[in-house]
Amino acid sequence: MSEVFQIYCPSCNSKLNAKASLEGQTRNCPKCKTPVLIQRYFDLDDPALVSSEAAAETAGTVRPMQLEFHNRYFILGLDRLIAVWEGSKGWHVNVGTGFAPARTNIAAIPDQGVFAFVEMTMDSGVPQKLLISKISSRGALTVLFRDAHAILGKLEEPTDLTVAQKDVLLRYLRQSLMSSVLDGADEVVAYLTSPSPP
């Protein structure tokens, strides 16, 4: 019997079973027909992975293993929001007049620079905390149009947001969330309104 593992469709976020023999290939999601790269993101039973996770946490690098449907993710440049990921919508990139799907707006994805990747953990729809990592490898963001989860492999060490980045993210959250939701997000709002450490 062939080994099976679970993957998620980057478009509709459906949980799918994939045969290990198909790893590295692309197949259409049976629910929404979007092409999905069959790639294993983690195996909780793999002792090598567990030890590498422990080593990463010891070194201060905490990297999510996959995008979680209930959380939100952002990629920030020096002074603008580059991309957002919100559940079943997939990655959307800033095209100047708003956000559009990364899959059809590849030209809007910068291929070099230093970026901040922000995971905003949510609890019952309310932002709880921000986990921030640096992305600096050339061409790292180009994976956004290929596979929603692939960007996680490009994350580097934890970082902090600049005052300009905090302002951009807070303005976006104020536009996209109801004010009552932000009223319950004290820790996130406090961080985004505080000056960056020296």
pLDDT digits (tens, 9 = 90+) for 85-111: 977 778 999 999 999 999 888 889 998
**132, pLDDT greater than 60:** yes
Dihedral of CA atoms 124, 127, 132, 138 in degrees, nearest 10, equals 80
**60, pLDDT greater than 80:** no
**CB of 167 closer than 8 Å to CB of 70:** no
Residue with tokens 């099976």: 4
**Least confident range of 1-5, 43-47, 190-194:** 43-47
Q: What is the pLDDT of residues 35-53, one digit of tens each?
A: 777 766 443 333 433 333 4
